[in-house]
Copies of this chain bind each other. A is one copy, B any other.
Amino acid sequence: MREPLRVGIAGLGTVGASVARLMARNADGLAMRAGRPMALTAVCARDRGRDRGVDLSRAAWHADPLALARDPNVDCVVELIGGEEGPARALVEAALGAGKHVVTANKALLARHGMALARLAEERGVALAFEASAAGGVPVVKALREALSGNRVARVSGILNGTCNYILTRMEAEGLSFAECLADAQRLGYAEADPTFDVEGFDTAHKLAILTSLAFGVALDPDAIYVEGISKITPLDLRMAAELGYRIKLLGVAERTPTGIEQRVHPTMVPRTSSLAQVMGVTNAVTIDADAVGELSLIGPGAGGDATASAVIADICDVAADVVRPTFGIPADRLAAPERAPMQRHEGGYYIRLSVFDRPGSAAGIATRMAQADISLESIIQHRARTADADPSGRSGAPVPVVLITYATTEAAIREALARIDADGHVAEPPQVIRIERE
């Protein structure tokens, strides 16, 4: 059998420690699969003393990631430091520059610098592998890059952030507020102390940028992504969704449209009977629509030390087996510049929840503004809260929630109508807008 692939891991947190453990435990099996053993020869971490459940005594310890990149006893650098700049970026650039393979779980780094890093890797003829970066343990990178080679992808969409899906699942099941569920998620370790990155959709956007490039053969274009998070979703929206036959999920969606490739991340109403609606808690799910295969869905754990390590090890095993493919499926200099489909041209159904002053003419005024923007309404729902100080007509003058469901229209039309409704003084607070995916 051949000489071992010498692996260096930078970052021994939950994922890094799990990679080291799984490599040690499965050493024989991995060697049989790859036709070559793998040896952990170097690590880079701050705390040398901590017990990580695996014998690291034979690995060289580096305090500086760049020393790991330069270590002549390392063929393949596993970057698990995180962050789009700083030591992670410096490490990956140095390792690729030194002709070493790189395996990473770092979606932020890839979304921001993936094109330059892919060019560097391809120049040096080494692998830049990142299965763990898109949907944790779910092998969607391999599916898009290899399994669907013969397909033209029309759409890729999914639940890509376990924190958000956990929060929405609990809000719906227990009628709790966003803040309450976020606090629970933080207590359970599903959300960071600063949750902005997850709950405002940026993590999903990074993952979507990667999937878009793989799916459509285009250069990464994270700045083209429309991003909206879940922090403004209320229990009332979840109740209304249920009443209307929907569930609310934070989706990342990339699709070919007549005007170009549309990339968007936002809370979405999906039919309760759809497969995405069944995805609960921290699970991730990706659905790919492609011309030959039709619809393919992959569902599994999007985070967690062992699940993420599973994807990292698959990449290491590919490297050991000398599988070096173009980073994003086709060579970086052949990736087309994507034509951006502007969000204003997005077409679809909309859920609009307005806080309407309960007085004569409000409903008519709103309906008129929608009609002027050529928006057809599928339904209007108003549960009037009768209060003690209501006048004999039942009207209190206080704001009441009114929910409109539209037929397919455009983002531009919705924005125009809502601006006019606001200017007319019918509503007490900014409208809630949630896009609907009906298929």
Contact = CB atoms under 8 A, between A and B. Distances in A.
A108 interface: no
The binding surface of chain A is classed by DSSP as mixed
Contacts of A317: 146, 149-150
A18 B326 CA distance: 26
A414 interface: no
Nearest to A320: B149
A32 B334 contact: yes
Given A297-B300, A325-B33, A310 B18 contact: no
Interface stretch (A131-139, A182-190, A383-391, A394-402): A131-139
Interface string A301-312: 100101101111
Contacts of A52: none
B292 A296 contact: no
Chain A contact patch, size range: 35 or more
Contact of A147 (B29, B139, B334): B139
A293 B307 contact: yes
B298 A296 contact: yes
Contact of A146 (B32, B142, B273, B300): B142
Contact of A33 (B149, B273, B311): B149
Interface string A325-358: 1100111001000000000000000000000000
A309 B292 contact: yes
A148 interface: yes
A326 B35 CA distance: 9
A432 interface: no
